[in-house]
Amino acid sequence: MEYIRVTNENIDKEHICCAISNNNDIQVSSKKAWLQERFDEGLIFLKSVERGKCFVEYIPAENAWNPIVADDFMYINCLWVAGSFKGHGYSTDLLNACIEDSKIKGKKGVCILSSKKKKPFLADPKFLKYKGFTVCDEADNGIQLWCLLFDSNASLPKFKECAKHPHIDEMGYVLYYTCQCPFNAKYVPIVEEVAKEKGVQFKAIHLQSKEQAQSAPTPITTYALFYNGKYLTNEQMNDKRFLKLLAK
């Protein structure tokens, strides 16, 4: 498998893997705009040359859109291999590329979000453990911060206090999200409309800066849904999933 690094110079023509290829689609344009603003902050987006869901996206932890403290670490936004690409060692290829690049840049390690049991849109904990990662912190909702140390004397990454105990004071459904996930541009408005039609209290909070994301009340900022103050899920909702949730 060959890989290509997406940059400001080639992003217009490159397929960004987990969204459809039409650049006029809001999912693609929102994600690409988000990426373009992050490249100068050190974000790396490495993908397979084949069309499909096979890529790694990482950034210096101080610029991560998550409430973590991880001085001199690299943070992996997403390591994603799906469909027919699974089982061919591509996850290892991409992770190794991130690790080697992080070492070259003098980082003390890399970190990534996961959980005790595999959750949607999070790294597989079994894979992380197999690759030498260990849990360095855990929030009350079971979301874990895993790390791979290059320097045994380095301070372990941890969640900020605001994310350690995910809870908010607002009632009804409250969604925190960013443009890091391309699907949000399409589906957040759809869920908002469903909530309006059903007379359900729903508030979407679009985190639009690194500072906002780093002070969010949730370890996961790409998509975090709360209900009556309690964290529910990081799984993106479409209209059918949200209606199913309302029916419970």
Cα 37 off chain centre by: 16
- Does the model's pTM come out above 0.85? yes
Q: What is the pLDDT of residues 123-165, one digit of tens each?
A: 999 999 999 999 999 999 999 999 999 999 999 999 999 999 9
Instruction: Quickly tell me which residue has 């039409």 as its tokens.
Output: 22
Three-class DSSP category at 109 = strand
Instruction: Tell me which of 20 and 49 has the higher pLDDT.
Output: 49
Q: Which residue has the tokens 């960013």?
A: 178
For residue 197, report the phi and psi dihedrals to the nearest 5 degrees.
-65, -35
Section 58-67 average pLDDT: 98
Average pLDDT, the chain: 95
Give the residue with greater pLDDT, 102 vs 248: 102
Beta bridge mates, 197: none
Q: Residue 21 has what pLDDT?
A: 67
Summarize pLDDT for 72-81 with one digit per residue, the tens.
Answer: 999 999 999 9
Q: Which residues pair with 175 in a beta bridge?
A: 204, 225
